[in-house]
Structure 1
Amino acid sequence: MSTAFVVKLLDEIQKIMCDNRDYLIELDSVVGDGDLGLTMSDGFKAAYEKVMGIEEKDTGKVLYTAGKAMSTAVPSTMGTLMASGLMEAGKRLKGKEELSNQDITLLFKGYLEGVANRGKAKVGEKTFLDGLYPAVEALEEAIDTDESLESAAKKAYEAACKGFENTTTMIAVHGRAATRGEASRTLQDPGAAVAMLMMKGFCNLF
């Protein structure tokens, strides 16, 4: 795999965010200000369009460039978090022109840590991390046991779906939802839905 794989990944993610824009708006309108669908569709579209057709072979630079474009296009809280994920993933893959399956795991681990570090959040606090963390764990386990990337992507998506569903057992710690206290427990977290959709986009590559 080369840089082209990452560009295709960004394309699939921006497509799925655009397709699910209204779904994310609906989810976010319950616990936030309802702009998540616009932020994610506009942000990932900007990230993809910045690097489509790019001649740069360093995958890390491509991801970082995409992240910078996203941060400029959607400078909201969630937009900044997602852009930080892309930029951290870029740092992890700096200098890589050919990617192994392990490098794909590294990409998503970097994304996870970039978001966590920027947002000062932890797993279990009803955020994007609760969708992506189980997906990264499942991806890493599958790759470490020499499963195909297609199989690993499917398992990662399934884990993200379960992670999203599991947010209905958590009390929100961050954002507007946190003001609801115990009443936030049964609500689905829109951020975790974004993680689920990202992994769906990953699956769509195969």
Structure 2
Amino acid sequence: MARLERRLRILSLAALLGLAGWASWLDGKAWLAQHLIAHAWQTTLDQGVPQRPWPWADTWPVARLTTPTGKTLYVLESTSGEALAFGPGRLAGGIGSDQALTLAGHRDTHFAFLETLENGDSLTVQRADGARQRFQVSSQEVVDSQAHPLQIPRNDRQLILITCYPFDALTPGGPLRYVVIATLTP
């Protein structure tokens, strides 16, 4: 019986160490990805050509979003699940478009800050050509995406940020979306 208990303890310890190692690997990978994306963004600004953060990446940074608290988020050219794991993605609009710059992100990671935004808060977007645009939050609303599909306005003076809602939902992927609209300031 003592042998069995000892083996179970050793097996439990090995499993615990394995889980800790896996969690460390994921955190390390996320940390490295953010540094590679930041480097790709700087290379894009320097060379004027979109740069993938790693050779097999299916996305690249297209803008840099700065929150009211000064946090920097690199916006990626895609809203695929793989891209959204690393940062918010561009859904529509942007340079050369007459549509609002529309970004989507996960409510529990990159776009968690949307929960604390207030009307009047400032957001800054740096475009790939280096130009900076300042936007002021003008409205926030919860929309049922099944009842009211998203219509991206033809207004290149708007920034729209979208994430799932509610922020503290236990299960992801419900029909509610939290939509923040910000207007370009002169």
Q: Normalising by structure 2, what TM-score?
A: 0.31
User: More helix per residue: 1 or 2?
Assistant: 1
**Larger RCO: Structure 1 or Structure 2 (Cα < 8 Å, ≥ 6 residues apart)?**
1
TM-score (norm 1): 0.29
**Larger gyration radius, structure 1 or structure 2:** 2
